[in-house]
Amino acid sequence: NPGAFTAVIPGVDGGAVTVDTIIAATGAVRNAAAPANVGVAAVLVSVDGLTRTLTNRINLPDNQFAIVVADSLTNPQQVVLAILKTNGEKVSATPLPAGWVPLLGPAAPAVNNPNPAAGGVGGAVPGLAFYIAENKQVYLAAKRPDDTAHAFIAFPLDASGPAVVAMPDGWFLAACTPNIRTYNFVMGRKLALFGSNSGTNTFLASCPSTGFILVDLLSGALTTSALPPNSDMVIGAAAGSFNDFLYATNLNGAGASRMASSIFVLDGADFSTLRLDVPAGLAGFQAPTTIPVMDSLVAAAQKRAAGDSGFVFFDLAQGAVRQFALPDGFTTATLAGFFPATRKLVARAMAADRRTSFIVYDIATGTATPVPNPDGVASLAARPGAAASPRLLVANANTNTISAVGFDADGNQVGVVTVRIP
């Protein structure tokens, strides 16, 4: 990935693996769930004849690890929390308390999941477990077989026997996506998970969530943080975390009609929740881009098509929303870069005659300033009328410049256009 590198981040205290894309020029970090087979599956384990691993390998003190092993990935009848030495030698194998089974992420339909029998996505483990170092316990997400209750089963390392850590009244883990993820909050020393008022454990394309379930990493206690009334948050692709913020949207629909109009935020500083709606007159947006150095998200705003109304800027720290409108003469725009030193956003905007130019937005005021192209340049980063090619567009926040290959009206490359962002 030109100008960027990736880091595979093991989950804190045995939590879910994530992959961070780090932009070299700015240091911005984009957090995402680990893709298939990154740091998750290929642990060959056999414990008392059980060989199906339901969770990631969880590193423990004294060169040991824990893993949940069963007789089946989809309908396990025999399940144990196994503690093993690094050479595979069994230290202990503890079954779940009576009346509880592992809570597994449901398999997506075959069109979305090439290996639906395995649960998760692309063969990723379907269950969730993590280690809380302060109280020396492994927590496993579990449920009643009839989906009437969810809980964590706490397995002490001293093998004193598991205990049921019940969810607060009326709360369940949101378990209608293939992967049940945790999000780590460094300052507050908690893990956050999406919560629900329904125990549904079947796949839903738009998995609803009514708030957040918080696991204290010092005591293991569970608390909740509910969304404002009448919220309609769903979890899936348009959810993520950065700078101790966890966000999701009400993204719904399919294809070109897939759109969101609200962003829901959990603030890791005080674990309050916030709803931010798009300004009146907009239909919504499709997918936000994080700007960690500004504690913000930005998304192409639309009435009928993405970018036909400029951008929506979500300031999570201030709880504010602003629209950056298109200047006269332009029909659509896409984000080209952001420049934290001068608090500017740059867009590549297309005019009705299919020519493209840069527009510089001042984040503080929302002022949009079109940058005239040099003589002979009709389009930037692609031929007139075409979508920009990322390989022909470079934003450098260190030098506060943005550069793109310039094309003439006939689609011929004529040079490189560089703009210094004031």
Q: What digits encode the pLDDT tens for the residues 225-235?
A: 999 988 999 99
Is residue 92 within 8 Å of 107, Cβ to Cβ?
no
Summarize pLDDT for 250-262 with one digit per residue, the tens: 988 655 567 899 9
pLDDT given for residue 188 in this prediction:
86
Query: What is the average pLDDT value for the chain, to the nearest integer?
Result: 88
Rounded CA-CA distance 400/422 in Å is: 8
pLDDT given for residue 125 in this prediction:
84
- What is the percent of the chain where pLDDT is above 90? 75
pLDDT given for residue 16 in this prediction:
47
pLDDT given for residue 111 in this prediction:
63
Rounded CA-CA distance 129/155 in Å is: 10
Reply yes or no on whether the pLDDT at 264 is more than 80: yes
Give 209 or 9, the one with higher predicted confidence. 209
**pLDDT band at 186, cuts 50/70/90?**
confident
pLDDT given for residue 75 in this prediction:
87
Summarize pLDDT for 342-394 with one digit per residue, the tens: 999 999 999 999 999 999 999 999 999 999 999 999 999 999 999 999 999 99
Reply yes or no on whether the pLDDT at 171 is more than 50: yes
pLDDT given for residue 123 in this prediction:
54
Cα 314 to Cα 15, 147, 242, 274, 279, distances in angstroms: 28, 37, 14, 11, 11
Rounded CA-CA distance 53/67 in Å is: 7
Reply yes or no on whether the pLDDT at 286 is more than 80: yes
Q: What pTM, to 2 d.p., does this model score?
A: 0.82
Give 34 or 405, the one with higher predicted confidence. 405
Reply yes or no on whether the pLDDT at 118 is more than 50: no
**pLDDT band at 117, cuts 50/70/90?**
very low
The three state secondary structure string of 93-140 is: EEECCCCCEECCCCCCCCCCCCCHHHCCCCCCCCCCEEEECCCCEEEE
**pLDDT band at 94, cuts 50/70/90?**
very high
pLDDT given for residue 28 in this prediction:
60
| Angle 304-308-313 from CA coordinates, rounded to 5° | 110
Reply yes or no on whether the pLDDT at 44 is more than 90: no
Rounded CA-CA distance 93/23 in Å is: 43
Summarize pLDDT for 7-32 with one digit per residue, the tens: 655 544 334 455 666 665 555 666 55
Helix, strand, coil share (%) of the chain residues, nearest 5: 5, 45, 50
Is the torsion defined by CA of 128, 316, 369, 307 positive or negative? Answer: positive
Summarize pLDDT for 303-356 with one digit per residue, the tens: 988 899 999 999 999 999 999 999 999 999 999 999 999 999 999 999 999 999
**pLDDT band at 287, cuts 50/70/90?**
confident
* Arithmetic mean of pLDDT, 206-227: 95
pLDDT given for residue 18 in this prediction:
58
**pLDDT band at 96, cuts 50/70/90?**
very high
Strand partners, 150: 143
